[in-house]
Structure 1
Amino acid sequence: MKLKFNQLVGALALSIFFFSCENSEPEQPLGAYEQGILIMNEGNFGTNDGEVYHLDPSTLTLKPNVFETENLRPFAGLLEDMVTVNGTLYLVANTGKVEIVDAGTFKSLGAVSGGLDQPRSLEVVGSKLFISDYGPYDASYNTPDSYVAVVDGLNGGMVTKKIEVSNKPEDLIAFGKYIFVAGSEEGKVEIIDADKEEVIKVLEVDGRPAQFFEIDGKVWLYSTGNDEVYFQSFHMDLTKATTNSLPVANATGRIAFGNDNLYYLITSTGWPEYQDGVSRVSVLGSELDLDWITGSGFYGIGYDKARNELYLANSNGFQGNGTVTVYDADGTEKRDFEVGRGPSGFLFY
């Protein structure tokens, strides 16, 4: 089971249910960091001070710098993604490494520290890690040599193969032995056979692919355009199924998955206005609230399904630490608190 950012609630409960049905042995107690909320702070370019904070939402106790506290060394990278798979947490840094920790204790289990350039996300199939990577910049700051790196070992090691894909691959999702790759720059979804370690199919999709998710066991893709967003689904035979487009302009690619098939999208006009917002939409229904929340500096988003609360991160222009504001299901502000530099994502247990 792979979970990233706000996808953790519900799936964790489901995994515990199936485990209890199949195994009569007593369940292992959850670790200190497998309860509550993990907050991913990207860090500042140049200082590479990315870190993870832990929040206990029942007591509002916030623990900063979890990686450094538990491993007695700084993370020393720019955090791009957090992916948890079967009790292991993968911290993907777009500064060329992946740190691997025990999800309960945050103690280091290993790393991928060689052969990567600008990793973006990660997926696990069997005993292999598949890591999307922009590849190196050329003289014009393009990324013509993007790839998905293969590492044979769940606790890291060296890159054993680089599978060429379209420019700027982002999110990954596994479907059986197949891995879907979101090619953000060229509007493609490439499908990798994990056994063969090669691309077996390329699908043209609408918009700029950003993130995969699931509805009722079917793979969906969230993509952004200039004046709309796209939600596209795929058949089990690895073909494109449906496309729903919604008139949401200036979407950034940041998305949170709420209850009742509601989705929360960060929008931003960018320079010079810097007018940001959160749109609330439904893929399967008629919900469309383009200005559900308005403001500036919005950088990360997540939804706590158990408590029905939206977490909205503000980078504060990377001038010092960021903040997180919590809203109820009606969009009413409940509280805010300071976190690390560039908060950009959440994992909810």
Structure 2
Amino acid sequence: MKFSKFFFVALVSVSAFVSCTNNDDDKVDSGDYNEGILVLNEGSAGQGSVSYISNDLATFTQDAYTKVNGDDLLGKYVQSVFFDGDKAYIISGGSNKITVVNRNTFKIIAKIESGLVKPRYGVVKDGKAYVTNANTYADWGAPADAPGYKDDYVAVINLATNLVESKIELNATANRIVLENGKLYISEPYNNDKLLVVNPATKTLETPIAVGSKADTMESKDGILYVLRSSNGVASEIVKVKLSDKSMSKITFPADFKNAKNLDIDQNKIYYTVGTSVYGIAITAAEASNTAIFSYTSASAYGKMYGFAVKNNHIFIADGGDFSANSKAFVYSLTGILEKEFTVGVGPNGFYFND
């Protein structure tokens, strides 16, 4: 979601109200939406949606949630989804809620509607979900002494009851979250120059990792956390953090590559984007490539792609469009050949793999 889209303040509650439907559907092992790709469409001022693409690219459903659940509203600004067993947890940041569905049938199971303030991303460990809440959205990019600047938190959700049972105060702003080796690593691309480290067992902050400002997209592989950062006015870089000892090395970018985005790792290769171009390098590379695999012409009002992922020998791109009408998702080969085009929902912002 674009950070400027809403500047509202919500009251934080640590309790949760849960509305449930028949939980028997949670036991279904297969359905219309298993083994495929979920495209999250955040919407604009209206409701978001989820599109479905089968792994073979042959089957497509533009709005899977509405098709299954009728008039029930998914929520505004659908941000991300995380999985646990047969459940998918769809985060709607503009509605301060998480909708729980069976990941295979997409039938609603529950809604978590309290204890959340502009939720962003989540991970699961030992029956608990840990969800970043950007309580200071309106203050992202504000000076460090601005009122309310550092009151973002991680909501701890008991997945057996779908209740927000506690909060981990971060004393910082927060966005993306990665679980690796039992620890939570949290980035935020505006006000922090460090990765936050949270021990979920003790619900405490540990010593942060200084990776530099504007760190956002992260991926972990083989005990290394790869962090893409793009500071204003200087070349982007990928910081590689060896989590066992917090030692760091860097993949440097060409001097004119100042706004790299969308880090993803697949089959020992790192992929990233600059504008409407896609690049790839070996995971062992010391320098980033300035030779694009391919470029595409965007119809986005922002002039760039909005969602990106690489998996199963495909490169997936979501074009933001004008954030008022349905937009496009494209599937390319690893060599940049366009394989498929889909008309998805409004503001498609990410791909999630329902394997």
Q: Which residue of 1 aligns with 2:221?
A: 215
**How far apart are the structure 1 equivalents of 2:171 and 2:64?**
34
1:264 to 266, 272, 291: 272
TM-score when scaled to structure 1?
Answer: 0.79
Matched, 1:315 2:320: yes
**How far apart are the structure 2 equivalents of 1:112 and 1:217?**
33
Trace 1:169-318 onto structure 2 (pairs within 5 A). Answer: 169-185=174-190, 186-226=192-232, 227-237=234-244, 239-247=246-254, 249-251=257-259, 253-265=261-273, 267-268=274-275, 276-285=276-285, 288-291=289-292, 292-296=294-298, 297=300, 298-305=305-312, 308-318=313-323
Report if the CA contact (8 A) 2:330-2:342 is conserved: yes
Deviation at 1:195, TM superposition (A): 1.6
Q: Deviations over 1:13-39 (max 9, x none)?
A: xxxxxxxxxxxxxxx954432212111
In 2 relative to 1, CA 252–261 (structure 1 residues): closer, same or farther, beyond 3 Å?
Answer: closer
In 2 relative to 1, CA 180–243 (structure 1 residues): closer, same or farther, beyond 3 Å?
Answer: same
Deviation at 1:162, TM superposition (A): 3.9
Deviation at 1:344, TM superposition (A): 1.3
Matched, 1:331 2:339: no
Q: Deviations over 1:17-73 (max 9, x none)?
A: xxxxxxxxxxx95443221211111111x21x2111111243622112212222331
TM-score when scaled to structure 2?
Answer: 0.78
**How far apart are the structure 2 equivalents of 1:193 and 1:58?**
39
Report if the CA contact (8 A) 2:77-2:93 is conserved: yes
**What is the identity, as a one-letter code, of the residue corresponding to 1:36?**
G
Q: Deviations over 1:248-286 (max 9, x none)?
A: 624363233343413132x33xxxxxxx33333444236
Trace 1:124-135 onto structure 2 (pairs within 5 A). Answer: 124-135=124-135
In 2 relative to 1, CA 110–165 (structure 1 residues): closer, same or farther, beyond 3 Å?
Answer: farther
Q: Deviations over 1:134-173 (max 9, x none)?
A: 1045689856122222223355223522422422x12111
Percent of aligned pairs with the same residue?
A: 19
Q: Which residue of 1 aligns with 2:78?
A: 79
Deviation at 1:118, TM superposition (A): 1.3
Residue aligned with 2:114, SS: coil
In 2 relative to 1, CA 155–314 (structure 1 residues): closer, same or farther, beyond 3 Å?
Answer: farther
2:51 to 43, 50, 53: 53
Report if the CA contact (8 A) 2:175-2:186 is conserved: yes
Report if the CA contact (8 A) 2:223-2:244 is conserved: no
**How far apart are the structure 1 equivalents of 2:252 and 2:283?**
9
Which deviates more from structure 2 when the two are superposed, residues 224-233 or residues 75-84? 224-233
Q: Which residue of 2 aligns with 1:11?
A: none
**How far apart are the structure 2 equivalents of 1:321 and 1:171?**
26
**What is the identity, as a one-letter code, of the residue corresponding to 2:343?**
E
Residue aligned with 2:163, SS: coil
Report if the CA contact (8 A) 1:113-1:158 is conserved: no
Report if the CA contact (8 A) 1:172-1:180 is conserved: yes
**What is the identity, as a one-letter code, of the residue corresponding to 1:164?**
L
Matched, 1:32 2:37: no
**How far apart are the structure 2 equivalents of 1:201 and 1:79?**
32
**How far apart are the structure 2 equivalents of 1:243 and 1:139?**
30
Give ranges in structure 2 of 5+ residues lacking alignment: 1-27, 143-147
Deviation at 1:107, TM superposition (A): 2.2
Report if the CA contact (8 A) 2:187-2:194 is conserved: yes
Report if the CA contact (8 A) 2:75-2:97 is conserved: no
Deviation at 1:191, TM superposition (A): 0.9
**What is the identity, as a one-letter code, of the residue corresponding to 1:161?**
K
Deviation at 1:108, TM superposition (A): 2.4
Deviation at 1:303, TM superposition (A): 1.8
Residue aligned with 2:322, SS: helix
Report if the CA contact (8 A) 1:233-1:242 is conserved: yes
**How far apart are the structure 1 equivalents of 2:138 and 2:213?**
25
Q: Which residue of 2 aligns with 1:344?
A: 349
